[in-house]
């Protein structure tokens, strides 16, 4: 490797409009992943980079959606049930709806107000597809966590840090 190649390889790549567009070579500035108490932001970014290495475009998006689901609803608890449900619902997500919702998260955005709001958001992410079974598992799971509001506020903060660039 010559000096030019080395310098080029070390240049940070800009993160595109949202976390869903992160790729395996994306340089993530430290300021985007620090300051979280309830959310392992570094692990989330690493999972998104891992998903970016999936060669098939459809499978890559499915994997990113599954990670997004697992972090949002299951607080990154890698249980078989949560993994299975998130993988199943990821295949039903409406790409444009989810992408637009992720891109719309702003700094300081309040956590969801209640179970019904979460239920509606979950169902809307699937567009015209029926996600009732998956949502009936996911939204109550999210509300079982004692730190739900703090976690969700941090998750929103993480997404907003990527959205502003």
What are the domain boundaries of the chain? 30-163
CA 32 vs. chain centroid, Å, equals 14
| pLDDT band for position 14 (cuts 50, 70, 90) | very low
Cα–Cα distance measured from residue 19 to residue 17, given in angstroms and rounded to the nearest whole number: 7
Mean model confidence pLDDT for the chain = 82
pTM of the model: 0.80
Cβ burial, residue 25 (10 Å; 0-12/13-18/19+): exposed
Q: Distance between terminal CA atoms of the chain?
A: 31
40-99 confidence digits (pLDDT tens): 998 888 888 888 888 888 898 899 999 999 999 999 887 899 999 999 999 999 999 998
36-73 burial, b at 16+ Cβ within 10 Å, e below that, comes to beebebeebbebbeebbeeeeeeeebbbbbbbbbbbbb
Q: Is the pLDDT of residue 23 over 70?
A: no
Q: Is the pLDDT of residue 120 over 50?
A: yes
Cα–Cα distance measured from residue 63 to residue 38, given in angstroms and rounded to the nearest whole number: 23
User: Angle at the Cα of 117 (from 112 to 119), degrees rounded to 5?
Assistant: 115
Cα–Cα distance measured from residue 14 to residue 23, given in angstroms and rounded to the nearest whole number: 10
Which has the minimum average pLDDT: 24-28, 95-99, 109-113, 140-144? 24-28
Q: Which of 20, 18, 67 is nearest to 43 (CA)?
A: 67
């Amino acid at each position: 490797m010559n000096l030019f190649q080395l310098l080029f390889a070390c240049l940070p790549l800009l993160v595109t409009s949202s976390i869903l567009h992160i790729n395996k070579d994306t340089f993530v500035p430290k300021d985007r992943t620090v300051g979280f108490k309830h959310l392992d932001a570094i692990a989330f970014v690493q999972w998104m980079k891992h998903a970016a290495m999936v060669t098939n475009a459809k499978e890559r998006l499915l994997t990113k959606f599954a990670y997004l689901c697992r972090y949002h609803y299951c607080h990154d608890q890698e249980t078989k049930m949560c993994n299975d449900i998130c993988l199943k619902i990821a295949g039903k997500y409406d790409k444009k709806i989810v992408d637009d919702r992720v891109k719309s998260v702003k700094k300081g955005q309040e956590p969801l107000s209640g179970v019904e709001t979460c239920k509606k958001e979950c169902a809307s992410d699937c567009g015209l597809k029926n996600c009732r079974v998956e949502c009936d598992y996911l939204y109550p799971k999210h509300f079982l966590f004692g730190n739900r509001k703090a976690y969700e506020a941090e998750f929103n903060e993480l997404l907003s840090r990527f959205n502003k660039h």
